[in-house]
Amino acid sequence: MSQAWIQHTFSRRRFQTQSRATAIAILSVAILLILGSLYLSQVAAFAITNREIEDLIGRRDEIKQQNEQLIGEIASYRIVPRLYARAVEIGFRPATNEDIDYLVFVDYNPNRQASPYVAATQRYAEPTAPVYDETFGGWLRAQFDHFRRQFQTFGG
Amino acid sequence: MPERSSQQAIIHARLPIVALFLIILAAMLIVHLANFQFFPRSVRQELERIGSSITNTTLRIPAERGMIYDRDGEPLTFNILQYRLGVSPNLVFDAETLMKQLSVILDMDEVELYFKLTSDNVWEFVAGPISAEQGQAVAALGDISLGLEEIPKRFYPQGSLAAHAIGIVLDDGLIGTLGVEGAYNSTLAGRVMDLSVSNVPFSLPEDRPAEQRGQDIVLTLDRDVQFWMEAELEQAVKENGAFRGSIIVMDPRNGEVLALANYPSFDPNRFLEITDPNLLVNPAVQETFEPGSLVQALTAAAALESGAITEQWSYNDIGVIEIGGREFRNRYFRSHGAVDIAGVLSKSLHVGSATMALEMGEEAFYNGLRSFGLGQATGVGLFNEELGELRLRGDTGWSESVFGLNTYGQGMEVTPMQIITAFATIANDGVMRQPHIVRQVIGEDGAIDARLSTVRRVLSTETARFVKDLLVRTVREGAPEAYMPNYTVAGKPGTAQINTAIGFEAGPNSSIVSFIGFLPADEPEVVAMVKLDRPDDFFGFEVAAPVFRRIADRLVILLEIPDDAAQRALHAVEASLRATPAGQE
């Protein structure tokens, strides 16, 4: 009697339908959870990076400010009264007209056009980075080169 | 059955009414929904503002003020940060520890700090402005109850050097006043921006836009020349028992102001400590004075230019002349007999300049002075420049006797900048260059140079050169104190009595003395003005001329101006080079 009831119960198509729906629901929730956690981890990483950038901008501004302060300090050490006092201290005195002689060079033209200075330049071959195309083959080559470089560094 | 059909008939009859009612109801609902969706612009903006205020914070970003440099790139200003420190007492976790830490950093009384940290207020001001080092030390504590507010501050590393020319900045570093800071405030200030920042940390942090920063300014001032002029001026004021003084140095060839010194001056880093507000006035452009006999040179130039007198002109000086019912006399009531133009200038004869002015006529006289720029702003680029006062016929207070006074520089008001510009015009062969103190403005798009700008030709080259010769003789014969052995100096001393409501002041310390000179006289490279108010001695030639000599000695070294012998040799070399065919140098 009881066995018949169980058989009857399990053989009902309705129950089978419900179990499938439950499985699909559980699967959906699992997928949603995975996607959600992936999204949250991405968002968290993004937020952390933003915070880091913000901190770096703040630090940069602070360093710039400190730099300006130092330049200001240097400028206040280079004021004329200070330089003058120091010059007097080490034995200099202000020049007078009597200390100055003007020499005129007959063949020297002070208004001549200065010839532009051409610096001697030496060209070096700049190392070029390998270029990989954005295909599977390119990716494979990049990975291979990466491994090869790693092995080369191991070998010293 | 018939009963049911009658019921159906009733339903059928009523159905359109119900349907219509529902349609009207739905339409009203749609209208209300639409009304709700499409608010008036102002309401929508307000709702958006409320919405964004939840997710966004508006930060007011002060623009970094542009820097000011001297002509050699030496910085004259800096922007530094100071801080205001506040505390949220509700968030203070350990008041005692925080009090001790802050007391060390801020050098403040512990009890006072403790009361602030434990106050019942939501926000309590602790200290400010505090230095950047103190602010950084407070920030390093990492205490969430403390709040630091940035205060931009202008710092002047050169101290009081060129204080009146550079100016000051008020209102937490936002509003420039006095000097270049005031005149070029909009250029230096940049743009204050309101930046909306998201509270949600999903948007990329924004950097300050570069174009927000103020533009930098390079002045024509030479720091070394400025320093020496200030040093010489201070010495001159003290030695002569003067009330105050000014020195202006200008390059007449291009109108560049090389130095602008006033004594007494102030330290712009401590301008809030100044007790005398008059110190914050730049006497070189913001105050006027009666130039006195300096104007005689301009009267002679105008008379020559108008053709009323010739280079050979002379008159018989009987020591007195009457104009408009008033008698004008020479110094010490002396008469000098036959006197030429050079004699008028070197002896500073009031009767002579009045005679010249009478011969050219009142209109030509005033036209001449106006074309020299008297009574008009020079546009040198400094804050709140005074116009001066040169009254003409028809103006209130003008009379023929005022015309008589004007012929030798009394009864009129000019600024030192106006009168030196007039002399620079004579030095520059009659061409008036635009006087200027800003050499370059440097912005994001590069540097813009102040272009060489001519205001007008005031005198013909011939007249200007003749007046220069007259001024060379004036120095030799009338102000030998300004004479330099190896250089040809042209110049004119000026003495002006101080006018009051009851007439001219008399007695000691009752004059304004001045001297304007330029050198080398043939091709002037520099023109300088010395002005001292209320010195112990009365006349310009005895007080201001020796000061000019001292500063000229200094200027020829600083500006590397060769002496006459070297100039002649240089001219000879240049002439021979011009004669040499090209390519044979």
Q: Provide the pLDDT for residue B4.
A: 63
Q: What is the mean pLDDT of residues B86-91?
A: 89
> Which of B436, B537, B488 has the alpha carbon at shortest distance from B165?
B436
**Distance from C-alpha of B203 to C-alpha of B206, rounded to nearest angstrom:** 9
Q: Pairing between strand B216-219 and B68-69?
A: parallel
Q: What is the mean pLDDT of residues B449-471?
A: 90
Query: CA angle, B282 as apex, B281 and B286 as ends, to 5°?
Result: 85
Residue B373: exposure state from Cβ atoms within 10 A (0-12, 13-18, ≥19): buried
The token pair at A64 is 């710039």
Query: CA angle, B212 as apex, B209 and B213 as ends, to 5°?
Result: 115
Comparing CB atoms, the residue among A50, A68, A106 nearest residue B204 is: A50
**Distance from C-alpha of B65 to C-alpha of B175, rounded to nearest angstrom:** 10
* Residue of A78, A86, A93, A97 to mutate, testing the B interface (most B Cβ within 10 Å of its Cβ): A97
Sign (positive/negative) of CA torsion B497, B499, B503, B505?
negative
Contact B78 A57 (CB under 8 A): no
Contact criterion met (CB below 8 Å) for B346 and B340: no
pLDDT one-digit tens code per residue, B407-455: 999 999 999 999 999 999 999 999 999 999 999 999 888 888 877 788 9
Mean pLDDT comparison of A63-77, B85-99, B253-267, highest-scoring range: B253-267
**Distance from C-alpha of B208 to C-alpha of B213, rounded to nearest angstrom:** 9
Residue B24: exposure state from Cβ atoms within 10 A (0-12, 13-18, ≥19): exposed
- Taking CA–CA distances from A112, the nearest residue in chain B reads B585
* Residue of B155, B156, B221, B235 to mutate, testing the A interface (most A Cβ within 10 Å of its Cβ): B155
Question: CB-based contact (8 Å) between A111 and chain B?
Answer: yes
Q: How far is A59 from chain B (nearest CA, A)?
A: 12
**Distance from C-alpha of B262 to C-alpha of B284, rounded to nearest angstrom:** 8
Mean pLDDT comparison of A75-84, A118-127, B30-39, highest-scoring range: A75-84
**Distance from C-alpha of A113 to C-alpha of A106, rounded to nearest angstrom:** 17
- Taking CA–CA distances from B574, the nearest residue in chain A reads A109
DSSP, collapsed to helix, strand or coil, labels residue B339 as strand
Please name the fold of domain B78-155: Penicillin-binding protein 2a (Domain 2) (3.90.1310)
- Taking CA–CA distances from A44, the nearest residue in chain B reads B202
**Distance from C-alpha of B69 to C-alpha of B75, rounded to nearest angstrom:** 4
Contact A75 B74 (CB under 8 A): yes
Amino acid present at B368: G
Q: Provide the pLDDT for residue B222.
A: 94
pLDDT at B342 exceeding the cut of 70: yes
**Which residues of chain A are within 8 Å of residue B158 when distances are taken between CB atoms?**
75-76, 79-80
Task: Give the residue extent of every domain in chain B.
Answer: 2-57, 78-155, 223-569
With a pLDDT cut of 70, the percent of chain A lying above it is 74
- Taking CA–CA distances from B562, the nearest residue in chain A reads A102
DSSP, collapsed to helix, strand or coil, labels residue B315 as strand
User: In chain B, which among 548-577 make CB contacts under 8 A with chain A?
Assistant: 553-554, 556-557, 562-563, 565-566, 569-570, 573-574, 576-577
Q: How far is B135 from chain A (nearest CA, A)?
A: 11
Q: Which residues contact B89 (CB under 8 A, 6 or more apart)?
A: B116, B117, B118, B119, B120, B121, B122, B124, B145
The token pair at A145 is 């080169």
Contact B201 A47 (CB under 8 A): yes
Q: Provide the pLDDT for residue A152.
A: 73
ipTM given for this complex: 0.72
Comparing CB atoms, the residue among B486, B557, B566 nearest residue A95 is: B557
Number of Cβ within 10 Å of residue A128's Cβ equals: 6
Contact B159 A79 (CB under 8 A): yes
Question: CB-based contact (8 Å) between A72 and chain B?
Answer: yes
Q: Provide the pLDDT for residue B180.
A: 95
The residue that leads in pLDDT, B45 or B419, is B419
Contact B585 A112 (CB under 8 A): yes
**Which residues of chain A are within 8 Å of residue B553 when distances are taken between CB atoms?**
96-97
Give whole-number Cα distances, B344 to A133, B119, B463, B483, in Å: 92, 79, 17, 19
Question: CB-based contact (8 Å) between B78 and chain A?
Answer: yes
Q: How far is A82 from chain B (nearest CA, A)?
A: 10
Q: How far is A109 from chain B (nearest CA, A)?
A: 7
Q: What is the mean pLDDT of residues A9-15?
A: 61
pLDDT at B172 exceeding the cut of 70: no
Q: What is the mean pLDDT of residues B123-136?
A: 86
The token pair at B232 is 């010489």
Contact A108 B573 (CB under 8 A): yes
The token pair at B575 is 């002439």
Inter-chain CB pairs, A–B, below 8 Å: 85
Q: What is the mean pLDDT of residues B280-309?
A: 93
* Residue of A43, A56, A69, A88 to mutate, testing the B interface (most B Cβ within 10 Å of its Cβ): A69
Question: CB-based contact (8 Å) between B583 and chain A?
Answer: no
Phi, psi values for residue B421, rounded to 5°: -65, -40
Question: CB-based contact (8 Å) between B61 and chain A?
Answer: no
**Which residues of chain B are within 8 Å of residue A72 when distances are taken between CB atoms?**
75, 78, 80, 155, 157
Question: CB-based contact (8 Å) between A147 and chain B?
Answer: no
Question: CB-based contact (8 Å) between A55 and chain B?
Answer: no
CATH 3.40.920.10, domain B223-569, yes or no = no
Q: Provide the pLDDT for residue B583.
A: 47
pLDDT at B585 exceeding the cut of 50: no
Q: How far is B272 from chain A (nearest CA, A)?
A: 20
Question: CB-based contact (8 Å) between A114 and chain B?
Answer: no
The token pair at B62 is 């002060």
**Distance from C-alpha of B201 to C-alpha of B176, rounded to nearest angstrom:** 37
Question: CB-based contact (8 Å) between B9 and chain A?
Answer: no
Name the residue with tokens 């005033």. B366
Contact B157 A107 (CB under 8 A): no
Contact B556 A43 (CB under 8 A): no
pLDDT at B528 exceeding the cut of 80: yes
Contact A96 B74 (CB under 8 A): no
Q: Provide the pLDDT for residue A62.
A: 81
Q: What is the mean pLDDT of residues B85-91?
A: 89
Query: CA angle, B182 as apex, A79 and B264 as ends, to 5°?
Result: 50
- Taking CA–CA distances from A100, the nearest residue in chain B reads B557
First to last CA, chain B: 135
Give the range among A152-156, B516-520, B581-585 with minimum mean pLDDT: B581-585
> Which of B550, B543, B512 has the alpha carbon at shortest distance from B528?
B550
pLDDT one-digit tens code per residue, B350-382: 999 999 999 999 999 999 999 999 999 999 999
Give the range among B9-13, B75-79, B504-508 with minimum mean pLDDT: B504-508
Give the range among B228-242, B304-318, B529-543 with minimum mean pLDDT: B529-543
Contact criterion met (CB below 8 Å) for B227 and A81: yes
**Distance from C-alpha of B227 to C-alpha of B468, rounded to nearest angstrom:** 29
pLDDT at A126 exceeding the cut of 60: no
**Distance from C-alpha of A7 to C-alpha of B25, rounded to nearest angstrom:** 57
Average pLDDT, chain A: 78
Q: Provide the pLDDT for residue B179.
A: 93
Q: What is the mean pLDDT of residues B11-25?
A: 90
Question: CB-based contact (8 Å) between A113 and chain B?
Answer: no
Q: Provide the pLDDT for residue A10.
A: 63
Contact A104 B573 (CB under 8 A): yes
The residue that leads in pLDDT, B254 or A13, is B254
Q: Provide the pLDDT for residue B584.
A: 46
Question: CB-based contact (8 Å) between A75 and chain B?
Answer: yes
Contact criterion met (CB below 8 Å) for B412 and B389: yes
Task: Give the residue extent of every domain in chain A.
Answer: 18-106
User: In chain B, which among 221-260 make CB contacts under 8 A with chain A?
Assistant: 223-224, 227
Question: CB-based contact (8 Å) between B159 and chain A?
Answer: yes
DSSP, collapsed to helix, strand or coil, labels residue B160 as coil
